[in-house]
Amino acid sequence: MNEVQEKDLILKFLYNSTSPSTVETISNISSQVGLEKARAEMLCSLIQDDGYIVYTHGPDGACKIKNKGRVFFEQGGYSQVERVNQLQSSNAQTKHELEIQQLRSVIATNTATVAAADV
């Protein structure tokens, strides 16, 4: 499982198992989603940096999903963002390849024109 999937898993757990006012401990999150506690802490810190949860650091830190996190999860979460980024990257690469083909065509046309003029 990659980081995107793990962050979505944590968001899904918080989304499905809590009300906006419920706080979940890192121990409970890690055991419920099948991640090591240290990994869950790190991921919760990253998700908090993105603004989707409130994460309290400590011996047994606690998380609470924000409304922004609920909306983000409903719209596809980190997996959706990754798909959009991959699509944009693919489109940019395709556009670049098309520009190269067009340049090659122009060069070939110019070369043929010059060669014909030299005859």
Domain harbouring 15, CATH code: 1.10.10.10
Burial 53-91 (b: 16+ CB within 10 A, else e): bebeeeeebbbbbbeebbebbeeebbeeebeeeeeeeee
User: How many domains does the chain fold into?
Assistant: 2
For 17-70, the pLDDT digits (tens) are 866 677 899 999 999 999 999 999 999 999 999 999 999 988 778 999 999 999
Residues 87 and 111 reside in one and the same domain: yes
Residues 83 and 64 reside in one and the same domain: no
* pLDDT (0 to 100) of residue 61: 87
Residues 45 and 88 reside in one and the same domain: no
Percent of the chain with pLDDT over 90: 45
Choice among 50-54, 83-87, 92-96, 110-114 with the minimum mean pLDDT: 110-114
CB atoms within 10 A of CB 8: 23
* pLDDT (0 to 100) of residue 114: 59
Domain containing 94 equals 79-119
Provide the whole-model pTM.
Answer: 0.69
Residues 7 and 40 reside in one and the same domain: yes
